Amino acid sequence: MILKVVKYGNPVLRKKGAKIDSITPAVKKLIADMFDTMYDARGIGLAAQQVGEALQLTVLDVREVVDRPSTLEINGKPTDVKEFMPLVLINPELIPSGKTVAGPEGCLSFPEIFADISRPEMVDVVALNEKGEKIEFRAGGLLARAIQHENDHLNGLLFIDRMESDTKADLQPDLDELQAATKSALKKK
């Protein structure tokens, strides 16, 4: 089922996600719906906050992006990223590493707003998958960027918080407009 994507200005985007204790049928349904919603919106990642649920849960799939490579290592061995997709991360813990690199980002909660964001180029991840099994891996490239972007959502952080101040100043009128539109739509409910 395709869910409505929450837009900037909705307070749920600023909520830290609660840990998920067990993979209940409701969590399984939410994961399936989040994938439907993400693919429908042609996104590569979606956090639970973006469908109105403040939980430590995100879904990702970078297979559609061919011009921005991703890397993956499991137990130190390079592994096929495609085989690892789609990816569900529950209660993820991240250790970013490597040099900081700037790259373009967008966000389904900020339609038509894009900016270069600087983030560490690699990230070590420990999380649970959709079966509640522990997974550990190191991601690089686009996947590392996407995971860090989604993990920020799980902590109530948004990519505008990581923009250069000049970039954010340029986008501020668009951001203010989006925030106002979201708030007025929420009031009407």
The minimum distance between CB 123 and Zn ion, in angstroms, equals 16
In 3D space, the residue among 44, 61, 75, 45 whose CA is nearest the CA of residue 137 turns out to be: 75
Residue count, binding to Zn ion (CB under 5 A): 1
Q: CB nearer to Zn ion: give 55 or 107.
A: 107
Site for Zn ion in 106-165 (CB under 5 A): 107
The minimum distance between CB 159 and Zn ion, in angstroms, equals 6
Residue 108 and residue 5 in contact, taking contact as beta carbons nearer than 8 Å: yes
From the number of C-beta atoms within 10 Å of its C-beta (0-12, 13-18, 19+), residue 43 rates as: buried
Q: CB nearer to Zn ion: give 107 or 123.
A: 107
In 3D space, the residue among 51, 35, 148 whose CA is nearest the CA of residue 98 turns out to be: 148
Q: CB nearer to Zn ion: give 138 or 149.
A: 149
Active-site pick, 73, 150, 164, 177: 150
DSSP letter at 33?
H
Binding mask 85-114 for Zn ion (x = CB under 5 A): ----------------------x-------
DSSP letter at 136?
E
User: Dihedrals φ, ψ of 24, to 5°?
Assistant: -80, 165
- Bond from prior residue into 86 cis (ω within 30 degrees of 0): yes
Residue 175 contacts Zn ion per CB under 5 A:
no
Q: CB nearer to Zn ion: give 137 or 159.
A: 159
121 is an active site residue: no
Question: How long is the chain?
Answer: 189
Site for Zn ion in 10-69 (CB under 5 A): none
User: Dihedrals φ, ψ of 166, to 5°?
Assistant: -65, -45
The minimum distance between CB 185 and Zn ion, in angstroms, equals 19
* Active site (catalytic) residues: 150
What are the residues binding Zn ion (CB under 5 A)?
107
